[in-house]
Structure formats: structure tokens, C-alpha cells
């Protein structure tokens, strides 16, 4: 049961059946055989499960192997060339070689096992838990308000697919798991409160490029047709391809959406540019005690948005650069500037 206070949901993905079958073939495993633990199993595993369940639901067999993986697997190599390669990978001088082999092409555990036949031929399944990590739940902001539909939970998700220098397609484990689910499938998940605290008595300025708009969509649904002023800076690549919830937001009277489509013109335009362009609107809302909220990718965007807000405070609040920086830090300390990034 999802609490009405929740803003985040954590979903446990499963490995695709093709990877599970490949793992079984590489390690010569019978997927229908049962694994019994004589002592307490690693959380959250049950005391008894089939190898199919283990490889499907618990072991992250498609993840990128760590250095520890090579330290342990090297003990199972009986082929001299393979053993030398593993020794090289874990040596100080072999760091660049290991990076080129694993990290640069995003090579997976399954692909490494496929490359080293003597390791997989001699691998003891009891050691799988030592070097294959457990599947971690993936977090998403809830993009729907329970006051609109108590029995429905929605997320806003980008399906991750890309190619590496190996020219082989890579996919995001959780996003592709969810994208392939049939209707009425069961999903293992849990919910918990997010970091945003949305007041009801003051304007809210939201900055949510891409799927960062998810927590704000939930807020907008719950505050539609109220006197509260809502301002959303939404950014994506193109209006036709990525403008989520456009028709829905056009019908919210107390919401103003300011868009930044980065690829729809020669000059790339991002949300931070729109914040500066609409500095008078932003500063006016802040003067009324507005809360400024930022959600989305944590790489560069949050820092660029903060710089844009500092510029707004300088341009429209007549502050110096130093005073503008202190003003934004004061907003942060007073919870009037909040972030939820990943």
C-alpha cells in the first residue's frame, strides 16, 4: 500500500530471460534445480529458491564487474593465458588495461565469463554471491496524485538504450524490464517519502527537465484549480518528441509552463536560459516567498540552474555576485530552495 505522503517508489527489476538462459549455458546450470541455504541467506534471498529465481530476481548478472570480480574469478582460471590476464587486470600496472576492457565498453559479467572459458568451467556456484552483486531497487518519483486516483501509481521513465564502442546495444535493466511488462503483471516495489516539501500558502517554482518533471506532475494534479501560483520550467529535446503531459498542463488554470526545447532550433536552449529570460517573473515569485524546486539529472543541470538563479537575483534584485550567492544559500538553508536529483 502506497502512503498518501509518498513521493518516491523503489522498484525491483528482473533480468531478461535471454540473459538468464545465457548465464545457465555459460555455467552449465540446471535452472530448475533448487538452492538451499543451511544458514541465513544474504538478504533479501529466501532460504530456498530455484536457480532460475536466483538468476532472474536476485543476481545482477548483466552489471559491470568490479575489480573484486577479477580477483575472485582469477582463482578459478586454469588456463595459463587466462590466469596471466586476470593477474594483469588486478595489478597496479593493469588498471588502464582493465578500464579499456571493462569500463569503456561497459562489458557485463556475462560477457566476461563468455571470454574466459576456463573460469566458467571451474567456477563454484557457491562463490557467485562473493563477486556477483545483488540487484538493487531503482528509485522513481511518483508522477501521479492519489487525490486524483487512489488506486493508480504512475511514473515518468526514459527507456535506456545506447551503444558502446563495441557497437553492441546496452539497455537499462529496470527501464527495459518495465517497458516489456504485460498488462496486469505484478511488480515488486516499496514506497517512501521524497525530499520535497510543498507548502500550500505560497508560490512554487518548479524546474524539471525531462523525467525530472515527475514529482511536479503529481504536485500539479493535486493543486490544480487552487489559488496557488505554480510556475514550471520544463525542458526536453523537442516539443513533438518529448513534451510530456503537454495537453494535460494546458488545462491547469493556475499553472504557467515555460518550455526549453534544446534541439528545435540552431542554438541549444535549456531551462537555465529560460530562468534568466523570465527573471522578473522568478524574482517576483520569490519576493512573495516562493519555494524554488529542482528535479532531474544530477550531472550539470542543478549547478547551472543555481547559477541562473544567482544571476536573476543580481539582475532583478540589484545584488552583487557575492550577495546573490549568499541569497541563494540562504534560500537553501531555509528550505526555500530544494533539490531532488539523481
The residue length of the chain stands at 342
Cα separation, 244 vs 281, in Å, equals 23
What pLDDT is attached to residue 44? 87
Cα separation, 211 vs 143, in Å, equals 9
Phi-psi region of 214 (alpha: psi -120 to 50; beta: other; left: phi over 0): alpha
Cα separation, 22 vs 6, in Å, equals 38
The helix/strand/coil state of 140 is: strand
All residues at 6 or more sequence positions from 184 whose CB lies less than 8 Å from its CB, including other chains: none
Full DSSP string of 222-287: HHTTSS--EEEEEEES-HHHH-TTHHHHTT-TTEEEEEEETTSSSS---HHHHHHHTHHHHHHHHH
What pLDDT is attached to residue 23? 96
For 252-281, write each residue's pLDDT tens digit: 999 999 999 998 998 999 999 999 999 999
Asked if pLDDT for residue 6 goes beyond 70, the answer is no
Peptide bond into 87 cis (omega under 30): no
Query: How far is CA 38 from its chain centroid?
Result: 36
Residue 342 — very low, low, confident or very high, per pLDDT cuts 50/70/90? confident
C-alpha cell recorded at residue 342: 539523481
Q: Give the sign of the dihedral formed by CA 90, CA 92, CA 93, CA 95.
A: positive
As to burial, measured by CB atoms within 10 angstroms (0-12 exposed, 13-18 middle, 19+ buried), residue 222 is: middle
Q: Nearest Cα to 126, choosing from 190, 200, 38, 233?
A: 38
For 44-77, write each residue's pLDDT tens digit: 899 999 999 999 999 999 999 999 999 999 999 9
For 195-225, write each residue's pLDDT tens digit: 899 999 999 999 999 999 999 999 999 999 8
Amino acid at each position: 500500500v502506497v502512503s498518501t505522503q509518498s513521493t518516491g517508489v523503489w522498484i525491483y527489476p528482473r533480468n531478461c530471460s535471454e540473459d538468464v538462459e545465457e548465464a545457465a549455458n555459460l555455467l552449465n546450470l540446471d535452472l530448475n534445480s533448487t538452492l538451499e541455504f543451511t544458514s541465513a541467506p544474504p538478504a533479501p534471498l529466501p532460504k530456498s529458491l530455484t536457480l532460475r529465481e536466483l538468476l532472474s530476481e536476485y543476481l545482477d548478472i548483466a552489471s559491470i564487474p568490479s575489480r573484486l570480480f577479477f580477483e575472485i574469478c582469477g582463482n578459478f582460471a586454469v588456463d595459463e593465458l587466462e590466469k596471466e590476464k586476470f593477474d594483469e587486470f588486478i595489478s597496479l600496472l593493469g588498471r588502464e588495461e582493465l578500464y579499456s576492457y571493462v569500463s569503456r565498453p561497459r562489458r557485463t559479467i556475462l560477457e566476461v565469463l563468455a571470454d574466459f572459458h576456463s573460469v566458467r568451467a571451474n567456477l563454484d556456484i557457491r562463490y557467485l554471491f562473493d563477486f556477483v552483486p545483488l540487484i538493487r531497487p531503482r528509485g522513481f518519483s511518483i508522477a501521479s496524485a492519489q487525490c486524483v486516483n487512489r488506486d493508480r501509481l504512475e511514473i515518468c521513465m526514459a527507456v535506456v538504450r545506447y551503444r558502446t564502442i563495441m557497437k553492441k546495444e546496452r539497455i537499462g535493466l529496470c527501464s527495459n524490464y518495465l517497458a516489456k511488462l504485460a498488462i496486469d503483471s505484478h511488480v515488486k516495489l516499496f514506497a517512501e517519502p521524497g525530499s520535497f516539501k510543498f507548502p500550500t500558502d505560497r508560490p512554487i517554482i518548479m524546474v524539471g527537465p525531462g523525467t525530472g518533471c515527475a514529482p511536479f506532475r503529481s504536485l500539479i494534479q493535486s493543486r490544480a484549480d487552487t489559488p496557488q501560483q505554480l510556475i514550471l520550467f520544463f525542458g526536453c529535446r523537442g516539443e513533438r518528441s518529448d513534451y510530456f503531459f503537454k495537453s494535460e498542463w494546458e488545462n491547469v488554470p493556475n499553472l504557467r509552463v515555460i518550455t526549453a526545447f534544446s534541439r528545435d532550433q540552431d542554438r541549444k536552449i535549456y531551462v537555465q536560459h529560460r530562468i534568466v529570460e523570465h527573471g522578473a517573473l522568478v524574482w517576483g515569485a520569490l519576493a512573495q516567498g516562493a519555494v524554488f524546486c529542482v528535479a532531474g539529472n544530477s550531472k550539470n543541470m542543478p549547478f547551472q540552474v543555481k547559477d541562473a538563479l544567482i544571476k536573476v537575483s543580481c539582475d532583478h534584485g540589484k545584488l552583487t555576485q557575492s550577495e546573490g550567492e549568499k541569497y541563494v544559500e540562504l534560500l537553501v538553508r531555509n528550505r526555500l530552495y530544494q533539490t531532488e536529483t539523481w
